[in-house]
Structure 1
Amino acid sequence: MTTALDQRLGAGLLHHASTHPGRVALSIGRRDYTYEEAAVTARRWAAALVEAVGGRPRRVGVFAHRSEVSYLGVAAVLCAGAAFVPLNRKFPQERTRTMLERADVDAVLVDAASAPRLAELLPQIPGRPAVLLPDARRADVPGLAGHPVLDAVDLAGFSPLRALPEPAPDDPAYLLFTSGSTGVPKGVPVTHANVRAFLRANQDRYRLTPEDRLSQTFDQTFDLSVFDLFMAWENGAAVCAMDPIELLAPFKYLERNGITVWFSVPSVAAVLRKRGALRPGSMPTLRWSLFCGEALPRATAEAWQAAAPHSTVENLYGPTELTIACTVHRWDPVTSPAACVHDNVPIGRPYPGLHTLVVDERLAEVPEGEPGELCVAGPQTTPGYWRAPELTAERYFEHAGRTYYRTGDLVRHLDGQYVCLGRNDQQVKVGGHRVELGEIEAALRRAGALEAVCLLRPDDQTITAVVSGAVDPDALADACAADLPAYMVPKSVHVVEEMPVNTNGKVDRAALRTRLTKQEQEREREQTAGRR
């Protein structure tokens, strides 16, 4: 049974705490949290946030990973009337510092495993945000001088916040940072109205019940995690946080936890398929299997459908700027294979209430069936980039009284649905993460490269860097590892004397690919000759 959507994101958690307090809301490892326990904890931490900040906070960082603090911390921030800013201790320190600085947070909720990072992080942040340590003691955490601090002992003494601030529909519910072409992460504020529109569309589509148990496979810096938490809590269901190691062989976990709704990036399923692990009938508990974040290969969809025979498989599509997902294709074993393009599943039809355009470089609509850039308007379209009006003007435009977002994805409208043909810029998906190749190139230049070009080769999940200048490729790779998340670090760095250019004087990426291919072929010939 679904609940009526409230203006407040997270209202479902509070509703079911009063109607079904003993039901499981969250499962982490072997630890279950009931709706009552989760709601009381969230409201108690919310009271602490209000006390620490001296009123309603605006934005609060959640610096935690797959822990009680990471999930219930999000609920606490929303109960306090603020926007949550997910942070990831696996990210390089400088990236996290930039995100905190740009978000201008009033407070940070930190779990015990992330707390050791604070000693280096806090002195670099302007202002003095309050620090809440729900599962740690301040005496065990260095570097807190000058900051208001509430630790586990302090928080245990708070009563749950009674009067919850009412957010306006246009207030941000969360602020996510995505890869930026200038080398600086872009902030995307997603409003309560944006998320309500997304949840409403999916409430009608999936009809989840309190008996459902949803997988949670994403880091919370990935916006797809919002689906897991709030689709579960809106319906009195349970969200089950999976350890990343369990994704390598999820079958026992799914059976043991009775998972009914699976949601992941397609690469998780693709790896299982390549290993021959997707045996027919091996995931009998699933009734929904959802994929998003990158292209879903046809063969992966077919293998997953066979492994989860009672499940409906769907391919979702959408950038953060359009609130998690905005189109969907329901896999049909009979008709869908013929609709695939480049052997990838279609991205489908837009959600109800969304308006789409397919345009050329001049933003003029292209004829039906012709390729062009997908642009989307409607209640899920976010208001623009955080404190970046020039960047907003580049990606958002007005047409026929609506504000459209330019996705940068080339699509074609065929037989009533969209198929994705690829990117029209340097923004790519690697392991489900959106990556601006320009950000990696900027990091390489900062590390000493004269010129830097990043390519996806030999496959679309492997980043290869080509640089010029008197540089050490190993040192460049190390510099990237210190500056960028692991999924953005080039797997190899090739040094060339100069970059090939085309007639316009721009770097000729096709020529670079050809050059690298020839070099690899020459090395293979030399190795073959050496073995004779």
Structure 2
Amino acid sequence: MKYIGNLHKSIEKHLKNNAFYIDNTFFTYKDFAIRISKIRHTITGTVNNSVKLIGLITNDDIDTYAAIVAFWLEGKAYVPINPDHPIDRNVDILNSLGTSYVFDSSKKTDFPNFILLKPSEPEITAINLKPKKVSDKDLAYILFTSGSTGAPKGVPITYNNLNEFIEGINYDNEFKLNSSDKCLQMFELTFDFSVVSYIFPLLEGACIYTVPRESIKYFYIYKLIKTHNLTVLSLVPSIIHYLRPYFNEIHAPEVRYCSFGGGALYNDIIEDWSKCIPNSKTFNYYGPTENTIYSSYYKLNKNSSLNKTHNGVITIGQPLNNVLYTIVDKSNQEIPIGESGELVLASGQLTPGYWKNEKKNKESFFTKTENGKTIRYYKTGDLCFKDSENNYMYLGRIDFQVKIRGFRIELSEVEFHAKAKCHEKINMVAIDIFNDLGNAELALAIESEAFNTNNIVNHMKAKMPDYMVPAHIKFIKEFPYNNNGKIDRKKLRTYFK
């Protein structure tokens, strides 16, 4: 609890500083502390001590962020629920937790069958930031990601996992914020990169600038950079593809750090982007949600020709100090440097296991005895190789899991819901394709003569978030197959060009 346990001290120390900029309004750390205290008052008066999990509706407002800290100070864990996602999916997630409580700061809630928590009504001016005692093994949050059976899978992260992660990032002092930093928070709170974007600024008394859900994200970020002189940027690679037409107008010498993650980062666009942020240290981060956000990073060179790349994609670098990487074959045996295989990892950041999903746990984790110690590994499903300088190169997914707008998606889940409303047994294959900007988009190939797909699309929209609904649908009379008798997905992509 070294870092999370000290969160309250940073808030108390920086009460006069701005903590958040949300929807054109600044909130000080004192404002933030009062909101936290009011939410704690509600929790202690409503929620039994034995209850550890609380659903959190992810509104873009000060109370939602205050609720995260309030839960932690009370020894609770938050489970983010996006109100724009299908209600059935959200209720299924809440039911799987076995919790009756939901915190929702909005005026009208979609969760009438749960006990609704809001900030205490009486005006509270006394600040209460004293943390309750919690165990390192207690949960800090659970994030639900796309699952192959049509149901999302929960990834619990403990307080110890979170502290190990912060320790790993702080180890070499490459990324060190201060109280005068102005930090971008562009991520939806159901996405694990959001944790990085709020926790490091809060620990140092910096100000966090959020992006409204209904805004055009890339354009709002562009305005924040220009208007408020942001100093710390955490981005997904697709954002700079959208910003590329504005590169000539962006000159941001104030930016000290720029971090990327959530997708392949291409060296050619980085060369141009670096001219927009000439004084910045820039990092390419990699890591699955299961290993608490980031697991490795690569610090980019000012001269892009010196960056380590493979097929134009920048390396994911070397593991954090407390993370162990190994490249293995199908039998989980380590393979030589330079040969490609599955990346597996082990660390104190690693989740204790998927929420109530033993089948998935057996598939994704394994143990090995090395030098007399038993090490628990996670199978990332990512195809990589290690070069002679110990940098890891990312080659793609071993299975059919992709990242769209930074969100990890099981293509089998998309296919599951696409087929659910189709009465005939028709082949449907979900694939990722790339648009003219170089950003990944979902596509659905249907092996059939053309028919009206409104019923299928409406069902997918009711069951999945918008980023999981294919943006392109194409009918193909006969799918291409490879020599092994499997659908040739690589060739299938060419049908969408």
Does the pair score TM above 0.5? Answer: yes
Counterpart in the other structure of 1:199: 166
CA distance in 2, matches of 1:349, 1:19: 35
SS at match of 2:253: coil
Distance 1:324 1:286 in 2: 22
Equivalence for 2:359: 390
Distance 1:46 1:394 in 2: 39
Distance 1:230 1:15 in 2: 13
What's the counterpart of residue 269 of structure 1?
Answer: 240
For structure 1, the residue ranges without an aligned partner over 5 or more in a row are 1-5, 123-128, 135-151, 521-532
Identity %: 29
Alignment partner, residue 138 of structure 1 = none
Kindly tell me: are residues 249 and 62 of structure 1, through their superposed partners in 2, closer, same or farther at Cα, counting changes over 3 Å? Answer: closer
| Aligned partners of 1:52 and 1:130 also within 8 Å | no
Deviations 1:474-517 (A, max 9, x none): 32122212211111111122345665555665444346446x36
Q: CA deviation at 1:441?
A: 0.4
Letter in 2 for 1:477: V
Aligned pair count reads 482
Distance verdict in 2 for CA 1:503–1:251, change over 3 Å: closer
2:191 to 197, 217, 222: 222
Specify the alignment match of 1:456 in structure 2: 432
Corresponding position of 2:111: 118
**1:78 aligned residue:** 72
Most deviating of 437-446 and 459-468: 459-468
1:23 is aligned to 17
Could you tell me how far 1:231 is from its partner in structure 2? 0.3
Higher helix share: 1
CA contact (8 A) 1:56 1:82 kept: no
Q: Does 1:9 align with 2:4?
A: yes
Q: Is the alpha carbon distance of 1:395 and 1:228 closer, same or farther for their aligned partners in structure 2, counting shifts above 3 Å?
A: same
- Asked whether the 8 Å contact 1:278–1:307 carries over to 2, the reply is yes
User: Which digits, 9 at most, give the CA deviation of each residue in 1:156-182, with x for residues without a partner?
Assistant: 469665764212111110000011111
Alignment partners' CA distance in 2, 1:296 and 1:159: 47
The reply to whether residue 109 of structure 1 matches residue 88 of structure 2 is no
Does structure 1 residue 91 correspond to structure 2 residue 76? no
Aligned to 2:417: 443
- How far did residue 118 of structure 1 move? 2.6
| TM-score, length basis structure 1 | 0.85
Correspondence 1:90-239 to 2 at 5 A = 90-112=84-106, 115-119=108-112, 122=113, 129-134=114-119, 153=121, 156=123, 164-203=131-170, 204-239=173-208
Is the 2:34–2:125 Cα contact (8 Å) retained in structure 1?
A: no
TM-score by length of 2: 0.91
Where 1:387 maps in the other structure, the secondary structure is coil
Match of 1:63 in 2: 57
AA at the equivalent of 2:234? F
Kindly report the root-mean-square deviation, in angstroms, between the aligned alpha carbons of the 2 structures.
2.4
Paired position in structure 2 for 1:473: 453
Q: Aligned equivalents of 2:491 and 2:268: distance in 1?
A: 31
Compared CA separation, residues 268 and 162, structure 1 to 2 (3 A): closer
In structure 2, relative to structure 1, the CA distance for the partners of 1:427 and 1:457 (3 Å cut) is same
The one-letter code of the counterpart of 1:490 is P
> Which residue identity does 1:256 align to in structure 2?
T
Residue type at the aligned position of 1:226: V
**For the residues of structure 2 that align with 1:186 and 1:478, how far apart are their CA atoms?**
23
Say which of 371, 376, 384 aligns to 1:411.
Answer: 384
2:314 match: secondary structure: coil
State the SS of the aligned residue for 2:429.
Answer: strand
> Using the alignment, how far apart are the partners of 2:146 and 2:393 within structure 1?
24
**Which one is further off, 47-56 or 340-349?**
47-56
Find the structure with the greater CA-based Rg: 1
- 2:252 corresponds to 1:283: yes
Amino acid at match of 2:168: A
Residue 494 (structure 1) aligns with:
474
Change (3 A) 1:456 1:337: farther
Correspondences of 1:231-270 after superposition (within 5 Å) = 231-243=200-212, 244-245=215-216, 247-248=218-219, 250-270=221-241
1:483 corresponding residue in structure 2 = 463
Q: Cα distance 1:293–1:10, how it changes in 2: closer, same or farther (>3 A)?
A: farther
Q: Give the residue type in structure 2 aligned to 1:439.
A: E
In structure 1, the residue matched to 2:272 is 303
Contact 2:11–2:202 at 8 Å: present in 1 too? no
